Amino acid sequence: MRHNLAKEKLAAGKPVSVVAPGYSSAGLVELLGRMGFDAIFIDCEHGPVGWEDVEHMVRAAELADVTPIVRVQSNDHSTITRALDRGAGGVQVPHINTRAQAEAAVRAAKFAPIGHRGYAGGRAALGVKGNFTVHANAETMVVAMLEEVEALKNLDEIVTVEHIDAFFIAPGDLAQSMGHPGEMDHPDVQAAVQDAVRRVRAAGRAPGMLTTGGATARRAIELGALFIYVSLASLLQPE
């Protein structure tokens, strides 16, 4: 497991660019990593990526010196451990609605004394000199996804949970939760996202936002977002 440059930038209050290939392709990860992005988003919740794909895509990210972040399919201890053992630099955990759920994600991603991640190490431990558990705790990112109205109601408590590097406000599921399915750009949804970003930043934590790159990414940064997500499909669409 290498030094996590994306985690370092977030800790310094600097924006981090995260790109989602959307496909199970180590070659595509390597290409995107060479284009200057800080992190690669590997989607195991909605995308086609399997566990063998994860390992190859993580290797490609390491080759390009970019942080591989795996979105696991659920806030499940064994699933989070499995992603990290394959060398992921971080996990993005969906549907965090309460402080207790946020704490559970941290416990699964971190070894003692912070959490109780199951000890195996896998390929993540290869080449690590010294105590792997100490190294992994220092370098592993945890990103909490806030996707429901309940999460925004509990936001002030959720953002007090330590060892979470970013709080990503996801507009798709949030829109559905607010009664506007499929309408991420609905004014009420966008107002809720922006309010959540401001509240996370006011708490001294790093908020994340979905963008389509370019001007929307710049607006997200101006609003205070630090974890700036964009899909490859969005970048390829003609304006």
Which residues are part of the catalytic machinery? 46
Using alpha carbons, select from 236, 216, 219, 183 the residue that is nearest to residue 21: 236
* C-alpha to C-alpha distances, 23 to 44, 46, 53, 54, 231, nearest whole angstrom: 11, 11, 10, 11, 11
- DSSP β-ladder status, 67-71 and 90-93: parallel
CB 153 within 8 A of CB 138: no
Report DSSP state, residue 124.
Answer: G
Q: And the tokens for 179? A: 């009664």
